[in-house]
Structure 1
Amino acid sequence: MNTNDLNLFEAVAHHGSFTKAAEAMFTVQSNVTARIKNLEEEFGAALFTRTNRKVELTAAGETLMRYSKQLNNLLEEAKRLIGKTDVVRGQIKIGFLETIMTLKGPELVNLLSAKFPFVELDFRSAMKPVLINDVLNYKLDAAFVSAPLDNSELKQIKIKEEKVVVVAPADCKSLNDLIKRKPLKAIVFDQGCVFRARLDSWLVSKGIAQYHKTVMNSIEGVINFIESGIGCSVLPAEIISTFYSGRKIKTFALPRELGLMTTILVYRKDVTPSPALKAFISLYDNI
């Protein structure tokens, strides 16, 4: 076993595929398959369950993944310290809700590149459940998600609180006017979206369990549909004030328990952060 074997092992776990891992590591699938087989023989346990559709870590594979991450992170730290340089290098995979990426992605890239120019960011946007699952399964180093989150395997850092508001067509006079519309129409993201959940909770509090939904998986698309008078939605107030203040839409405050959202940064507790991830985490109070 060598560090390249562990890198191939991590690539298979990340991509869920021997073929994709081979492509990412610039080798052939037969080499990846052979190296994983050698690892399994060396440890005396299956590291992956294999089906026609995907490859997933076994319990033994998850244990090895923790140690593999620790080893690679320690090697990176050793290279930096032995080389007597303060330069932090490496790539980190960070997950975002799309709204957070829209607001803070460019700012974060600029801030990181100014302080740690040799750290590369790989951004992924997805819904909260997917992001959490990807962090737990080592496919992301960390992710920005909304609180609350009850998971003993994840370290949580509070980033910020922000307001979320109901966004409605320009002809809407009030929230009471909005909820009286028959049928009530809304532009929503897919299931798992925190803003869709806030909208559902608010409508239920008003005695509305059913409403007409149009699913639109881009912020620009949601705004366009609202502006066209098709329906309402729930979005961060800062998104509207920063990018859409001149559009023909109106915003209305939600009750405090629904109108405030806390963003947290999460990463695994049982894996010592790499130097690159430590550098990224050190920026959190500037986000």
Structure 2
Amino acid sequence: MDIRDMQIFLAVANEGSFTRAAEKLEYVQSSISIRIQQLESELKTELFHRGRQGVRLTSSGEALKSYAEKIIFLTKEAERVISDNTIPRGQLRIGSLETTTALRLPFILAEYHKSYPEVDLILKTGTTEELIHSVLKYELDGAFVSSLGDHVELDTVEVGTEELVLISGRQTAPIHHLEQLRHLTIFVFRVGCHYRRILEDWLHLKGIPAKIMELGTLEGILGCIHAGLGVSLLPFSVIERAMIKYNLQYHKISDELVNIPTLFIRRKDTYKSAAISEFIRVSKERFNDI
């Protein structure tokens, strides 16, 4: 069992198909099939259930997958450590919340790229839960999130705070009382968004039933609110900038929901390269530059 076997195994596991794995790795399908059969023979167990619709992992395959991911990551990590020096360079995979990407990240990225052009930045957006999962699975080197939870594997740095406000379109009556929310649609990001969870928990605590409508993008939420279709809970920095384009108003209706920290997370067991160290430094310095 060598590193290439692990790469082939993971490709088949992630693609759910020998054919798609072969296309991704630019191998012929027969070669992929033979390598998997040899791996199963070596380990004396079946790793995949074969079917007409593709393949899926057996219990043994699931167990191997978690180790294979670590093996591949540690191999790449070793290469990075050996080649790393005081000059940030190489690939850096960063995750970010949709709201942070829209307002905060452009200034951070511009400063970072200007200072360290040899770093190849890759960006992925998602909810807090999705980004934490990606960091834990070694799919991202670090990510901006708004909540951590109980994850002792993660190292956390607070890079700034966001003031949360309730927003509505200007054609919607000003919200002075919580009871008004009973009759309004609440626009939120998909499950896993920390802002969504804060709002839902708060409404539940106050005994206000919520009519939730889930959208996938910040622009979608702002557009619906601009049209007078409902309200949402978002950072004030987003609203301040969005008011240039959208017809919005905001309401500070609860001291409980004011300041939420934005955290940068990374795995404690990964090498802290010069590239990510400088990215954290720049993020802390430029987070409020809007």
Matches within 5 A, 1:115-134: 115-134=115-134
Select 1:69's aligned residue among 67, 70, 73: 73
Residue of structure 2 in register with 1:90 after alignment: 90
Quote the sequence identity (%).
30
Residue 163 of structure 2 contacts residue 235 of structure 2 at CA under 8 Å; is this kept in 1? yes
**Paired AA for residue 280 in structure 1:** F
Matched position secondary structure for 1:175: coil
- Rounded Cα–Cα distance in structure 1 between residues aligned with 2:88 and 2:44: 35
**Paired AA for residue 98 in structure 2:** E
Residue 88 of structure 2 contacts residue 273 of structure 2 at CA under 8 Å; is this kept in 1? no
Cα deviation for residue 135 of structure 1 reads 1.8
Residue 158 of structure 1 contacts residue 265 of structure 1 at CA under 8 Å; is this kept in 2? yes
Cα deviation for residue 279 of structure 1 reads 4.4
Instruction: List alignment gaps of at least 5 residues for structure 1.
Output: none
CA change 1:79–1:214 in 2 (3 A) is closer
- Rounded Cα–Cα distance in structure 1 between residues aligned with 2:174 and 2:155: 41
CA change 1:65–1:248 in 2 (3 A) is closer
Matched position secondary structure for 1:264: strand
Residue of structure 2 in register with 1:265 after alignment: 264
Matched position secondary structure for 1:261: strand
- Rounded Cα–Cα distance in structure 1 between residues aligned with 2:227 and 2:157: 39
Residue 73 of structure 1 contacts residue 274 of structure 1 at CA under 8 Å; is this kept in 2? no
CA change 1:20–1:118 in 2 (3 A) is farther
Matches within 5 A, 1:116-155: 116-155=116-155
Cα deviation for residue 259 of structure 1 reads 2.0
Q: Does 1:78 align with 2:89?
A: no
- Rounded Cα–Cα distance in structure 2 between residues aligned with 1:64 and 1:48: 12
- Rounded Cα–Cα distance in structure 1 between residues aligned with 2:87 and 2:31: 33
Matched position secondary structure for 1:149: coil
Residue of structure 2 in register with 1:99 after alignment: 99
Deviates more, 1:107-116 or 1:26-35: 26-35
Cα deviations by residue, 1:191-231 (Å, 9 ceiling, x for unpaired) = 222222222233224321x2322222221221121122111
Cα deviations by residue, 1:152-203 (Å, 9 ceiling, x for unpaired) = 1222221211101100121445433563365232222222222222222332
Query: Structure 1 length as normaliser, TM-score?
Result: 0.79
Residue of structure 1 in register with 2:190 after alignment: 190
Cα deviation for residue 46 of structure 1 reads 7.1
Matched position secondary structure for 1:132: helix
Residue 167 of structure 1 contacts residue 250 of structure 1 at CA under 8 Å; is this kept in 2? yes
Matched position secondary structure for 1:232: strand
Deviates more, 1:224-233 or 1:181-190: 181-190
**Paired AA for residue 187 in structure 1:** F
Deviates more, 1:137-146 or 1:44-53: 44-53
Residue of structure 1 in register with 2:112 after alignment: 112
Deviates more, 1:3-12 or 1:244-253: 3-12
Query: Structure 2 length as normaliser, TM-score?
Result: 0.78
Residue 167 of structure 2 contacts residue 251 of structure 2 at CA under 8 Å; is this kept in 1? yes
Deviates more, 1:66-75 or 1:257-266: 66-75
Output the aligned Cα RMSD: 3.4
- Rounded Cα–Cα distance in structure 1 between residues aligned with 2:242 and 2:110: 19
Deviates more, 1:71-80 or 1:13-22: 13-22
Residue 178 of structure 1 contacts residue 184 of structure 1 at CA under 8 Å; is this kept in 2? no
Instruction: List alignment gaps of at least 5 residues for structure 2.
Output: none
